[in-house]
């Protein structure tokens, strides 16, 4: 019994530590409110010296199996929103060769871009997951440095929910675009 209590205590301690290890590299508000849902910071990374990513989920969702997620990425340098969109489109065109669900739409307004795309994952001829992403690309100056900022919403459906999810996309599109355009996220990094 004592061993079980020690094991449970150590597991709870580990969970507490992992929950505290998410680094908030930049501040964009926490939670982020998008289309009526609040998203809280759950994961972050700095894959390269000039590249930062933070992911946010609604309460009750997990990174392993989510229905909705919001992500903000910042890349310092001279990459433009158009170049970032073109790179993503090239990736999607490659994916179309193996994923028949893949499709995308692009909208531009004053040098800012929204790229909406849908992708799927299947096995044995059956669709397992469908994901729609709404990417919003814009150029900013942060602490005197050029930066490309990507904010995006990701929605997923699994198994039997996929068809209804796909059919609901046209009705949700305007709200997604308007919500993204009105969000006005402004990443704030600590000054060095």
pLDDT in tens, 132-150: 999 999 999 999 999 999 9
Q: Structure pTM?
A: 0.86
pLDDT tens track for 17-56: 344 589 999 999 999 999 999 999 999 999 999 999 999 9
Domain contains 42: yes
pLDDT tens track for 52-109: 999 999 999 999 999 999 999 999 999 999 999 999 999 999 999 999 999 999 999 8
Confidence of residue 15 (pLDDT cuts 50, 70, 90): very low
Domain contains 32: yes
* Structure tokens given for 35: 């289309």
DSSP state of 77: S
Q: Is the peptide bond before 31 cis (omega within 30 degrees of 0)?
A: yes
Q: Is the pLDDT of residue 9 over 90?
A: no
Contact of 146 with 77, CB cutoff 8 Å: yes
Domain contains 2: no
CA distance 101 to 120: 6
Domain contains 10: no
159 is in which domain, residue-wise?
Answer: 23-183
Domain contains 7: no
Q: What is the CATH number of the domain that holds 177?
A: 3.40.1000
Domain contains 18: no
Domain contains 129: yes
């Amino acid at each position: 019994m004592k061993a079980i209590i020690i094991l449970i205590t150590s597991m709870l301690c580990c969970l507490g530590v992992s929950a505290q290890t998410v680094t908030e590299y930049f501040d964009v508000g926490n939670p982020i409110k998008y289309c009526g849902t609040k998203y809280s910071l759950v994961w972050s990374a700095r894959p390269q010296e000039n590249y930062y990513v933070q992911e946010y989920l609604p309460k009750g969702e997990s990174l392993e199996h989510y229905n909705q997620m919001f992500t903000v990425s910042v890349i310092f340098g001279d990459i433009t929103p158009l170049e970032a969109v073109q790179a993503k489109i090239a990736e999607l065109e490659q994916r179309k060769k193996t994923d028949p669900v893949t499709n995308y739409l692009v909208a531009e307004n004053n040098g800012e871009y929204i790229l909406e795309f849908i992708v799927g994952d299947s096995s044995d001829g059956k669709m397992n997951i469908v994901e729609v992403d709404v990417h919003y690309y814009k150029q900013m100056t942060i602490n005197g440095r050029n930066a490309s900022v990507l904010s995006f919403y990701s929605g997923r459906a699994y198994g039997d929910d996929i068809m209804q999810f796909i059919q609901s996309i046209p009705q949700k599109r305007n709200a997604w675009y308007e919500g993204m355009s009105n969000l006005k996220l402004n990443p704030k990094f600590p000054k060095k």
